[in-house]
């Protein structure tokens, strides 16, 4: 099974900050990686697929990069609506999620 | 409106059964593979099961294999999860999710239904 490890688990930031979340796979997954945003009590929302492709309707301040085993999600200028938990997901072999990164207000 | 709406959650006894449903609307349900994903209280997302577009092929996580059955009724635009031999560790919010055609990732999720397994 492919394991996904995100870091950090929690991130404290201010509005306007540049934020980077890292996701590492236990083996190469090429670029078969997605990022989701989840707010409390709500369903996850797709942000990025195929490591770096922005889902339609998602603000351009979100971007993804990486391939193989190391990936990043970057928010270029954190907005009030972005405080949430973010999950990476590999879909190279079945489907596995990272443990999540909570972005909280500093 | 394009949406998925889960139902059927509630309190289940250890060793008991529950059946979850996910009603799809606003898109051609029969064209997409579908999944169930669960989230234990305060924890992360865990993939549970998937079914292909015509229901002829299914896959399960090891933790539910032999106990849960995923199925679909394309005439009713509905996805199901039959949960048998429930365990306390099955307690979670259960989400249905649509897989992008030939994409393998999930572009539409329901709001979830809470399953609590307790005596």
User: Mean pLDDT in chain B?
Assistant: 96
Q: Which tens digit of pLDDT belongs to each residue from B20-47?
A: 999 999 999 999 999 999 999 999 999 9
Please check whether residue A44 touches B, CB under 8 A.
yes
For residue B94, give the nearest of B42, B21, B12 by alpha carbon: B21
Per the DSSP assignment, residues forming a β-bridge with B8 are none
pLDDT in tens, A1-13: 999 999 999 999 9
pLDDT at residue B13 is higher than 90: yes
How many CB pairs lie under 8 A apart between chains A and B?
48
Give the burial string for B83-92 (b: 16+ CB within 10 Å, else e): beebeeebbb
DSSP letters spanning A24-50:
EESS--TT-EEEEEE-TTS--EEEEET
Q: Which residues of A touch B47 (CB under 8 A)?
A: 94-97
């Amino acid at each position: 099974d492919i394991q996904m490890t995100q870091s950090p688990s929690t991130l404290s930031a201010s509005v306007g900050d540049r934020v980077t979340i890292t996701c590492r796979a236990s083996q190469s997954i090429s670029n078969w990686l997605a990022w989701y945003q989840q707010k409390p009590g709500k369903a996850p929302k797709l942000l990025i697929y195929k490591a770096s492709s922005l889902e339609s309707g998602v603000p351009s301040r979100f971007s993804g990069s990486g391939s193989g085993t190391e990936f990043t999600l970057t928010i270029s200028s954190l907005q009030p609506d972005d405080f949430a938990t973010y999950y990476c997901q590999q879909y190279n072999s079945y489907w596995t999620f990272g443990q999540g990164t909570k972005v909280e207000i500093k | 409106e394009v949406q998925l709406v889960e139902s059927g959650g509630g309190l289940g006894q250890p060793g008991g059964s529950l059946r979850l449903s996910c009603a799809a609307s606003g898109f051609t349900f029969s064209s997409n593979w579908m999944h169930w994903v669960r989230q234990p209280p305060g924890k992360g997302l865990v993939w549970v099961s998937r079914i292909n577009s015509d229901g002829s092929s299914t896959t399960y996580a090891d933790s539910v294999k032999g106990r849960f059955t995923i199925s679909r009724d394309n005439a009713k635009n509905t996805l199901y999860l039959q949960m048998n031999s429930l365990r306390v560790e099955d307690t979670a919010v259960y989400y249905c999710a649509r897989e992008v055609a030939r994409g393998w990732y999930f572009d539409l999720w329901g709001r979830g239904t809470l399953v609590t397994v307790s005596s």
